[in-house]
Structure 1
């Protein structure tokens, strides 16, 4: 897992919030694409950075090229300063 800059920009924070609210999906690949509310995210480079940094991940068993629900990792929750879900705590 790589590290993400200590200061996230507003777009990255908005993307993390959308994932945390259950509104996002990741296309499973080595550079996962993100869509929010069914629409492709305008900044896929930031989506790739968030995934590489271990802040977001796809949920469940996935097939390359398919969309899967996205979730925040523990590091993603910490980055937002949000509480961890009960199952992760």
Structure 2
């Protein structure tokens, strides 16, 4: 039996942050625990950023790179186009 895709439910806050990532407004600052920057400021809710990465909606950052763009995955972009 083939694997069935799992529906992902995100909150309004998570969706807003995913939209900011998809719009190119976000970067990751590297380190042992990467920090998501939105418009140059640290995201106040790091748990939302971590959840988007854990769900595969935002690409995981390379912790060895000091600053890098945050990017939405194909799954993240698809979620934004649905409702």
- What's the TM-score once normalised by structure 1's chain length? 0.71
CA gap of 1:54–1:29, structure 2 versus 1, over 3 A, is farther
Give how far 1:7 is off.
2.3
- For the residues of structure 1 that align with 2:59 and 2:31, how far apart are their CA atoms? 11
What is aligned with 2:24? Answer: 22
Q: Of Structure 1 and Structure 2, which has the larger fraction of its residues in strand?
A: 1
Which 5+ residue runs of structure 1 have no aligned equivalent? 83-89
Runs of 4+ in 1 over 6 A off after TM superposition: none
Q: CA deviation at 1:28?
A: 3.6
Residue 76 of structure 2 aligns with which residue? Answer: 76
Offset of residue 37 of structure 1: 0.3
The alpha-carbon deviation at position 73 of structure 1 amounts to 0.3
| Alignment of structure 1 residues 1-89 onto 2, 5 Å | 6-28=8-30, 31-57=33-59, 62-64=62-64, 66-81=66-81
Which structure has the greater CA radius of gyration?
A: 2
Q: TM-score when scaled to structure 2?
A: 0.76
